[in-house]
Amino acid sequence: MKNFRKVISDEASNYIGNIQFANNQNSNESTLTLKEKFEESIESLQNVETNGNNTEVPFYRKIDESLQSEIDRIQLVSSQLETDLPPLKNFEDIRLYLVCEEIDGVQYKYFLKSIRVAKLKTRFIATLTSGKVKIVDIEKDEGRSLPFIISYAEKTENNETIQYIFDVQDYEIMFGLNESKIITAEENYKKFLSHNFKLSTDFKVKVSDEESEKIKAKLKSHRKLINLLAKYNDEASSYEWKCVKRANKLSAQFFQTPFTFNEKSKEIYLTAESLEAFISVITNAKKLGIAKNEYEDSLADKRQKDKKDNIEVQ
């Protein structure tokens, strides 16, 4: 990864003024500072603590131990910043650009996904640190146009870091997170096959060899399914079977194929066609088609009952 260190000095302020955030690109407030644009743009982000941990939409969250592998990946990529290099000529390998600011002891990092095409017959920008732009020359006609859309940012204050994801897909591409999620999703899928994961305590998942290969191929090409299955942590093992059946039946109303099952043998027969319905059921995901009505209400009632029982036991 290379940093912004190439630009004609009289164009630097214009470039910085044109930087926008992915979720706020219609803003014409070019007079705002980068920090002011940031503060304006984060207002529309969702807090994962209150939106059901939905990371499919622009969101923000505090960094904690549960995100360690993801944070390690981000640090690995962003720590490869190369500061002392001759004029850039090979732009194809640049995955992202990083702009850093420190204001009143608060550190801001802004990440911009690289643009792979288009040529710019000028020079490029340096790092933006504490409001100052450092200029380093570049050979003319060797440039590429700079990205100006911030997809991801970090704010660190008093040793606490908050992530702000303005474009979820670009965020995952920049740090190669989708690849790691595919691996995790496949591992969770295998746990169903080995019966380490079950539904409603003791319902096992059965898949034929032919369908299993189709499911693996489908997972790799379906981003939402990957994300949901990667985050799954055996929640459906505690779902009541009548709730699972109701949710599975509801999936047909959302153009999904319900999975088949045998209640006597307590087996669920999964196919590539019924994969969406299955993941919808185990994750209770409204976005994939299961409405938050009877199914979620039933689970909510059970949670309330369990909570009450726990209080009485204590």
How many other β-carbons are positioned within 10 Å of the β-carbon of residue 70?
16
Nearest C-alpha neighbor of 287 from the set 59, 54, 47: 54
Q: Residue 284 and residue 280: Cα distance in Å, rounded?
A: 5
Query: Average model confidence (pLDDT) for the chain?
Result: 76
CB 228 within 8 Å of CB 279: yes
For residue 111, give both structure tokens. Answer: 């990440």
How many other β-carbons are positioned within 10 Å of the β-carbon of residue 153?
22
CB 256 within 8 Å of CB 272: no
Q: What is the pLDDT of residue 29?
A: 60
Q: Residue 2 and residue 90: Cα distance in Å, rounded?
A: 10
Mind listing the pLDDT tens digit for each residue in 208-239? 999 999 999 998 888 888 888 988 989 889 88
Q: Give mean pLDDT, residues 103-122.
A: 71
CA 20-22-24 angle, to 5 degrees, is 70
Mind listing the pLDDT tens digit for each residue in 251-265? 888 788 999 999 999
Q: List the chain domain ranges.
A: 9-175, 177-313
